[in-house]
Chains A and B, each alone.
Chain A
């Protein structure tokens, strides 16, 4: 498979619709540039989650990255990015 040929990213339209679906007010809109930046931000969120989960699996000598690895790193991940620790599985 090609290495960095195709950069994996969230589609602009997906992010736009997604964020818009969560707005409280109908009149709230998202500028094009804001959408692009949010797509980047979410990509980083996912990559951080994945890399940290991977490292956790590595530290436990596991062959596969699984839910428990993700669960362990999740609180730290969320608080580092957003200052909140709301999530648990």
Chain B
């Protein structure tokens, strides 16, 4: 299933970059194996999150997962919950600002992003 492989590769790429940065900050390199392991775990964690999100949305009788569902998924960690709450407020504020400007352009939800990885 090529799509899954491409998604895994995309995750691996970003994980690698994040690890590289942290490695540079702390002057301790991450081995290829550990980067692959972190990427694999992250990938699997997405499955866990996705199932939770779907269940939360369904419980609220919605078919679209929204930010409230994400906040629920983060509930077990106080620090994470606070961070996600702040990010959520940032997003809402950005959208309000955009509306005020009267551009009529909402932040695009399906941005065609340059996916050169």
Contacts and interface: CB of A to CB of B under 8 A. Distances in A.
Interface of B is mostly: helix
B65 to A, nearest CB: 5
Given A13-B115, A70-B38, A87-B41, A28 B30 contact: no
Interface of A: 1, 8-15, 17-25, 27-38, 40-47, 49-51, 53-54, 57-58, 62-67, 69-71, 74, 78, 80-84, 86-87, 89
Interface of B: 3-4, 7, 10-11, 14-15, 17-19, 21-24, 26, 28-31, 33-34, 37-38, 41-51, 53-54, 57-58, 63-67, 69-71, 73-74, 76-77, 80, 83-84, 87-88, 91, 107-111, 113, 115
Contact of A41 (B57, B74, B110): B74
